Structure 1
Amino acid sequence: METKKVWFVTGASKGLGFELVKKLLLEGFRVAATSRTAESLVASFGKASENFLPLEMNIAENDNVKWAVSRTVEHFGNVDVIVNNAGYGQIGTLEELTDEEARANFDVNVFGSLNVIRNAMPYLREQKSGNIFNISSIGGYAGNFPGWGIYCSTKFAVAGFTEALAEEAKAFGIHATVVYPGYFRTDFLSKESAKTPAHTIEAYESARNSEQAHLNDINGSQPNDPVKAAEALVELSRAQQPPVHFLLGIETHEFLNNKIEALTKDAENWKSLTESTAI
């Protein structure tokens, strides 16, 4: 039955991942949920059962991810829908953030998702079906947020490899979608979740203003409901031809239109120089 599909959801202990797992279990899906600590998952959703499998997983460790995916298939018999949701926000200008801070964000937001895809694809290819939802951000489409360059670049990477994956996987009946959430009322912008730079540079006034606006003003007043986001993902999973790109949340179309306008303006203004290279 359709409701018995097996979902593999990363970053399931809070935010969108939490609401998605909750929704899936209520609708009768089978769910493998991962987090850095299994205790939080057990406390929220219960112990392992025929419908639920809590998994403690370090998404940055390929061997650990491989174990978690194989454990899912062993427990349920197969896996159908992958949701790469685990990630965190790293605030800081490109100059401020250390190499270690930048690489850590990429390890989780980019290479973590690649670890999941690499280890899930053999099962999906064999059964010739499946959905992969890679959760990017509206900051993975428009990067003009001062102090969010590294985070946005990780989410741009998610969009880029999802476009390629959609082409690579379609021959096997597998659909890949990059999801661009806008501002959702989760704890993503809380001081416990979003990381700030270890060392700041006073000269970056715009970055500090953006940082404070996100942590103090936008946090707690986001206009979108994560429960409704979970419902949207479930609906997408039922589509015969889900989109490769999916904007999620009100206000996201404003970012879409603003970037199209900016790109078009630059392209037109510099068209003569662009085409000056012809032989």
Structure 2
Amino acid sequence: MDTKKVWLVTGASKGLGLTLVKKLLDNGYKVAATSRNIESLKNAVNYSGSDFLPLQVDLINEQSIEKAIANSIEKFKKIDVVVNNAGYGQAGTLEELSDAEARENFDVNVFGALNVIRKVMPHFREQNSGHIFNIASVAGFIGNFPSFGVYCATKFAVVGLTEALSAEAKPFNITATVVYPGYFRTNFLDEGSLMLPKKPIDIYTEARAIEELHTSQIRGNQTGDPEKAADVLIELTKQENLPLHLFLGSDAYLYANQKMETIESEMTAHKTLATSTDY
């Protein structure tokens, strides 16, 4: 009897999503995978077996998502694990980015994941099981660097909705994990995956320096191995108790601990004044 889980992975034509899909197929899992361009997805995965279902999906179109989930269930009879991986980076200070640039980043990074959750939950509730990985970023926990405010805000939103989802879905034996990757050696910082502001303001020199740092020095030298990240996600689904929060990578742990130390210090320093507000 085949007891291996069926996975649905969004944003699977490149980056961590592509690495995960390949790893799953190599290990005998059944995988439905989505991309905006199905030919790019097929070429990237390069797998012709029956365990792979490539799907062309527009994540901001609910009907497109609903059809993809129905097709996945029709082929594999169920879905056990969803990985909301699709997303892109948007650089630019809050003043520089247009309303359209900011909203588009939220549409893909937040509402895309929310649309998938909304459409897969009836299936998960019916089978009384399921797990959802929402791929955020360590930038969903820390936001104190110039030029990535909107991107950080999208990932903070993913964290918040995942925490709520975990509580809402618990009565139905459904679990959720928000993943906070640090820097992994994928194409996330390449042109097309990291968008720069269309109308930069020259005076924001620190923001430009941060962007240059990411595109010329960090890109290609990231600490994290996406193969090992995929291994972690697969291994977690074999465990009985999955975490709600998963910081992924040594750098993610470093940044998160720095943030927690700062919060603890500030709370302690201002506790007397800040708690003087009770009746």
Separation of aligned partners in 1, 2:268 and 2:237: 39
Q: Deviations over 1:168-227 (max 9, x none)?
A: 111111110000000000010012320000001111121111111011110000011001
Corresponding residue for residue 74 of structure 2: 74
Corresponding residue for residue 208 of structure 1: 208
Counterpart check, 1:241 vs 2:207: no
Aligned-partner SS, 2:268: helix
Higher mean C-alpha deviation, range 203-212 or range 11-20:
203-212
Residue 44 of structure 1 deviates from its aligned partner by 3.0
State the AA in 2 paired with 1:5: K
Separation of aligned partners in 2, 1:122 and 1:188: 32
Corresponding residue for residue 277 of structure 2: 277
Q: Which runs of 5+ in 1 are unaligned?
A: none
Q: What does 1:46-61 align with in structure 2 at a 5 Å threshold?
A: 46=46, 49-61=49-61
Aligned-partner SS, 1:4: coil
Do the aligned residues in 2 keep the contact of 1:3 with 1:28 (CA within 8 Å)?
A: no
Percent of aligned positions with the same letter in both sequences?
Answer: 53
Do the aligned residues in 1 keep the contact of 2:12 with 2:86 (CA within 8 Å)?
A: yes
Residue 113 of structure 1 deviates from its aligned partner by 0.1
Corresponding residue for residue 124 of structure 2: 124
Corresponding residue for residue 167 of structure 2: 167
- Corresponding pairs, count: 279
Aligned-partner SS, 1:79: coil
Separation of aligned partners in 2, 1:3 and 1:25: 15
Corresponding residue for residue 222 of structure 2: 222
Q: Deviations over 1:14-57 (max 9, x none)?
A: 01000000000011100000001110122233577531100000
Q: What does 1:1-279 align with in structure 2 at a 5 Å threshold?
A: 4-46=4-46, 49-279=49-279
Q: Deviations over 1:228-277 (max 9, x none)?
A: 10000000111111000001112211111111111112112222221221
Separation of aligned partners in 1, 2:41 and 2:192: 18
Residue 3 of structure 1 deviates from its aligned partner by 5.4
- Assess, with a 3 A threshold, how the Cα gap between structure 1 residues 135 and 210 changes in structure 2: closer, same or farther: same
Do the aligned residues in 2 keep the contact of 1:3 with 1:29 (CA within 8 Å)?
A: no
Q: Which runs of 4+ in 1 moved over 4 A?
A: 46-49
Aligned-partner SS, 2:237: helix
Do the aligned residues in 1 keep the contact of 2:180 with 2:248 (CA within 8 Å)?
A: yes
Separation of aligned partners in 1, 2:272 and 2:94: 32
- Assess, with a 3 A threshold, how the Cα gap between structure 1 residues 250 and 2 changes in structure 2: closer, same or farther: farther
Separation of aligned partners in 2, 1:204 and 1:96: 9
Separation of aligned partners in 1, 2:25 and 2:3: 10
Aligned-partner SS, 1:65: helix
Aligned-partner SS, 1:197: coil
Aligned-partner SS, 1:278: coil
State the AA in 1 paired with 2:61: E
Separation of aligned partners in 2, 1:191 and 1:161: 29
Residue 116 of structure 1 deviates from its aligned partner by 0.3
Aligned-partner SS, 1:224: coil
Aligned-partner SS, 1:223: coil
Aligned-partner SS, 1:246: strand
Higher mean C-alpha deviation, range 56-65 or range 106-115:
56-65
If the length of structure 2 is used for normalisation, what is the TM-score? 0.97
Do the aligned residues in 2 keep the contact of 1:50 with 1:76 (CA within 8 Å)?
A: no
